Amino acid sequence: MAVTEVVEKEKTSQETILEVRNLKKYYPIKGGILRRTIGHIKAVDGVSFSVYRGETLGIVGESGSGKSTLGRTILRLEKPTEGQVVFEDKDLTNMRNRELRPIRKDMQIVFQDPYGSLNATMNVQQLLEEPLIVQTNLSKKERQELVDEMLEKVGLRPQDRMKYPHEFSGGQRQRIGIARALILHPKFVVCDEPVSALDVSIQAQVLNLMSDLQDDLHLTYLFISHDLSVVKHFSDRVAVMYLGHIVEIGDKKDIYNNPLHPYTQALLSSVPTVEKGKKREKIVLKGDLPSPANPPSGCPFRTRCPLAHEKCAQVLPELKEKGKDHFVACHLHN
């Protein structure tokens, strides 16, 4: 393996904050007159990984690869079909809503759409205060202080707190969404494409804000995005998803400099560069993402893989370690 140089140790400790084991989320497809279940959409199909305290794990993949479903299922906003989610040694998988509620204080989510994710009939004050009301015993005055403090942290003026979401721009609304997620000082935050709905000029601002807040509040991020450049900028480790599976996971440097999975290679070759004279070969994938209702047998990527061979159609490749903390699920590397 090429990756023999000592990888620079990131700021992360190796203490696991979240562990996902063989997680599956299937949605039933109903059909026929009696609306019986006639199949399943396998949005997340057997995913395992760990997230370490203080790091940012980026999840990349194209639309429909199951990234968002993964994020929501981890937070138990969706009920997992199978598998386990262990957060700080607590198994969330089968907890009831009542048991989950106190844990929600520690795990939060920033949604993709800053327009739809804020209740339009509540002003900023109410939006930010509500988590404090249900999760803490703080007095009205203490809550007020926290709201003002949080607004300032995300770069909004406290005097805007009586305004309603529609009175803000997209970037400002996303800051409200971030403030809402962070006001309880969670330990773990799922960021579900937090900047993809924003202008490029605003994306950097919001990303920098999230980065500063991570240092400030010692946050762990699960950063979901389809934008490879954003993930490269933002993550410590990266997992690549395809059709509900993780096909490769590893340190950011390994994934970006030495991608092993053919899909990762194709994905990275599609990122436009501005470097002069640097011509790269673009790997163009044939066809579309197969339907998650009827995934290919064996390796999910084999229908589009330029290097697929017989075995790929028969056996689902497992994630195997190919270098320090660098896992890939491909028969070519076994």
Partner 1 sequence: MTKYIIRRLLVFFPMLFALTIIVFTLLKLAPGDPYSQMMDPQIDASVFEEQRKARGLDDPIPVQYFRWLTDAIQGDFGDSFRYKGRTVAELIWDRIPNTLYLGVFSVFITLIVAIPIGIYSARNPYSPLDYAATGFGFFGLAVPNFFFGLAVIYIFAIKLGWFPSQGSISKPGLEGFELLKARLHHLVLPGLTLGLASTASYMRYMRSEVLSVLGSDYIRTARAKGLTERTVLYKHTLRNALIPIITLLGFEIGVLLGGAVITEGVFKYPGIGTLFLESIGNRDYPVIMAITLMLGFFTLLGNLIADILYAIVDPRIRYD
Q: Which residues of the chain form contacts with partner 1 (CB under 8 A)?
A: 30, 35, 72, 75, 77, 97, 100-105, 108-109, 111, 113, 116-121, 123, 130-131, 134-135, 164, 166, 177, 180-181
Minimum CB distance to partner 1 smaller for 10 or for 113: 113
* Minimum distance, C-beta of residue 190 to partner 1, in the bound complex (Å): 9
**Residue placing its CB nearer to partner 1 in the complex, 176 or 246:** 176
Residue 272 Cβ vs partner 1, minimum distance, rounded to whole Å: 30
User: Shortest Cβ distance from residue 36 to partner 1 (Å)?
Assistant: 11
Compute the least distance from the CB of residue 217 to partner 1, in Å.
Answer: 17
CA 26, CA 29: separation in Å to the nearest integer? 9
Which one, 97 or 273, has the nearer CB to partner 1? 97
Nearest-angstrom CA–CA distance, 2 and 146: 49
Residue with Cβ nearer partner 1 (9 or 98): 98
- Residue 214: CB minimum distance to partner 1, A: 19
Q: Report the alpha-carbon distance of residue 137 to residue 149 in Å, rounded.
A: 18
Find the shortest distance in angstroms from Cβ 301 to partner 1: 30
Which residues lie below 8 Å from residue 230, measured CB to CB, with a gap of 6+? 195, 203, 207
Q: 111 or 221, CB closer to partner 1?
A: 111
* Closest CB to partner 1 among residues 128, 151: 128
